[in-house]
């Protein structure tokens, strides 16, 4: 085990971060900060973390580049664990965690590398329906240890102001360590990558339940499988149905799927049409929201808009984002149209009238409306209220 380790980043182009080195010594804990402006704040963050971990000796050097206190705490904790071992208690579990709803709008989900706090700050200002703190593909293998610690500290300290807080975990043994750190914190949705068989989801569900019990977490955690392979596509329905009480959405990853198919993604999506259609059908058959993949060409706004139109045509209700600039376009693109809102209004009001008359179905124009159709219309109206498109008292206002 090394006597000294460093975590984090520093340099002229680094923002909202720091590089912290910890070295074991026989002397009382000494903290050296390279800037006076944030010295007291960062010293306190490190001292509080050291006290929680029971570390009273050693030398800490902080090269600050505008780091928030939680960033310094996370960087120090990672460096100290690299030197002293990983047997320290994890972060204290959060209390009063707010779960997210099954049918809340999930138009936009912004991916953020879990080891780069400056992107977390940008995500909080993006207006996305959800933020995904990523521990998988956007984090290199040699940074995954400190990334999961950073994400846990971010979950414990940041206020995402109504955004659904998600984490994409790793595969295999990495997933166990990821869950140990994040489940006790205010994560609301966990994305499971490269799911090919339903057992992969149920195994994660069982681990989440076990950790939740150990840390006295009562709030539910949604699980979102990501379909990224031909085998996953063919098993999509079984995957979507694997944990019905813990699932709200199903999504897929185009890049990995295309690689396994041996094709290059095209603008019109011909090569992925069948896979995407099967994922939408599987999601809807299981009562889940189908979420489209990311659009990789960040600067091509017209291409993104066309991708959104195609996704809506297939039945997707949202899309992943890899840059904050994509969020407003995705949010607008997945808003219900005025025609869709008007139809949903008429369905909900007609069914309310039918219920008052003791009827289970009602004719609306030339179509027969039954409870499943009415339920979907109610979801549209509930989401429209959450998005501020209509008033919560719209039924009363319509009747006046």
Q: What is the pLDDT of residues 334-383, one digit of tens each?
A: 988 888 888 888 888 888 877 777 776 777 776 777 777 888 888 888 88
∠ at Cα 202 (144, 142), nearest 5°?
10
Share of the chain above pLDDT 70, in %: 99
pLDDT the model gives residue 389: 86
At 36, the pLDDT band (50, 70, 90 cuts) reads confident
Mean pLDDT calculated for residue range 201-229: 97
Q: How far from the centroid of its chain's Cα atoms is residue 59's Cα? A: 36
Per-residue pLDDT reduced to its tens digit, 86-115: 999 999 999 889 999 999 999 999 999 999
Q: Are 212 and 221 in contact (CB under 8 A)?
A: yes
pLDDT the model gives residue 1: 59
∠ at Cα 315 (311, 319), nearest 5°?
45
Mean pLDDT calculated for residue range 75-83: 98
pLDDT the model gives residue 102: 93
Strand partners, 191: 168, 224
pTM of the model: 0.90
pLDDT the model gives residue 127: 95
Cα–Cα distance, 7 to 20 (Å, whole number): 5
Comparing 28-42, 176-190, 232-246, the range with the smallest average pLDDT is: 28-42
pLDDT the model gives residue 133: 98
Strand partners, 32: 61
Nearest to 168 by CA among 117, 224, 251: 224
Q: Is residue 400 scored above 70 in pLDDT?
A: no
Share of the chain above pLDDT 90, in %: 78
Cα–Cα distance, 139 to 131 (Å, whole number): 16
Mean per-residue pLDDT over the chain, rounded:
93
At 199, the pLDDT band (50, 70, 90 cuts) reads very high
Nearest to 380 by CA among 350, 351, 337: 337
Q: Are 134 and 113 in contact (CB under 8 A)?
A: yes
Strand partners, 225: 192
At 46, the pLDDT band (50, 70, 90 cuts) reads very high
**SS3 readout for 9-77:** CCCCCCCCEEEEEEEEEEEECEEEECCCCCHHHHHHHHHHHHHHHCCCEEEEEEEEEECCHHHHHHHHH
What residue has token string 């904790």?
77
Q: Is residue 181 scored above 90 in pLDDT?
A: yes
Nearest to 103 by CA among 341, 288, 337: 288
Per-residue pLDDT reduced to its tens digit, 161-178: 999 999 999 998 899 999
Q: Are 204 and 171 in contact (CB under 8 A)?
A: no
Mean pLDDT calculated for residue range 188-205: 98
pLDDT: which is higher, 149 or 370: 149
Per-residue pLDDT reduced to its tens digit, 107-131: 999 999 999 999 999 999 999 999 9
Q: Is residue 319 scored above 70 in pLDDT?
A: yes
DSSP 145: H
Mean pLDDT calculated for residue range 218-244: 97
DSSP 271: G
Provide the token pair at 14.
């680094």
């Amino acid at each position: 085990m090394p006597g000294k380790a460093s975590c984090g980043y520093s340099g002229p182009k680094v923002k909202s971060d720091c590089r912290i080195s910890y070295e074991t010594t026989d002397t009382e804990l000494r903290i050296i900060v390279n800037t006076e402006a944030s010295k007291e704040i960062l010293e306190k963050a490190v001292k509080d973390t050291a006290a929680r971990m029971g570390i009273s000796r050693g030398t800490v050097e902080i090269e600050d580049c505008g780091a928030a206190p939680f960033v310094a705490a996370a960087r120090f904790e990672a460096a100290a664990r690299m030197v002293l071992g990983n047997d320290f208690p994890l972060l204290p579990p959060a209390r009063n965690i707010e779960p997210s709803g099954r049918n809340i709008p999930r138009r936009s989900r912004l991916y953020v590398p879990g080891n780069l706090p400056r992107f977390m700050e940008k995500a909080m200002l993006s207006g996305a329906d959800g933020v995904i703190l990523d521990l998988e593909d956007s984090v290199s293998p040699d940074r995954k240890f400190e990334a999961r610690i950073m994400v846990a500290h971010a979950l414990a300290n940041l206020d995402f102001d109504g955004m659904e807080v998600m984490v994409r975990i790793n595969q295999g043994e990495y997933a166990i360590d990821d869950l140990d750190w994040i489940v006790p914190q205010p994560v609301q949705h966990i994305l499971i990558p490269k799911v090919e068989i339903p057992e992969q989801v149920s195994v994660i569900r069982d681990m989440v339940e076990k950790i939740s019990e150990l840390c006295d977490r009562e709030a539910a955690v949604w699980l979102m499988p990501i379909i990224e392979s031909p085998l996953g596509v063919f098993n999509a329905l079984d995957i979507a149905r694997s944990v019905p009480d813990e699932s709200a959405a199903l999504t897929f990853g185009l890049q990995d799927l295309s690689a396994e198919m041996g094709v290059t993604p095209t603008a019109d999506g011909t090569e992925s049409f069948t896979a995407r259609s099967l994922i939408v059908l599987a999601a809807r058959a299981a009562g889940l929201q189908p979420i489209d993949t990311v659009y990789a060409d960040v600067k091509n706004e017209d291409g993104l808009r066309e991708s959104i139109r195609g996704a809506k045509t297939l039945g997707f209700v949202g899309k992943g984002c890899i840059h904050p600039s994509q969020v407003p376009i995705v949010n607008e693109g997945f808003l219900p149209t005025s025609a869709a809102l008007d139809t949903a209004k008429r369905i909900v009001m007609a069914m309310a009238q039918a219920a008052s008359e003791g009827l289970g179905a009602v004719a609306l124009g030339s179509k027969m409306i039954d409870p499943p159709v009415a339920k979907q219309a109610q979801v549209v109206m509930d989401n429209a209220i959450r998005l501020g498109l209509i008033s919560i008292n719209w039924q009363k206002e319509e009747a006046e």
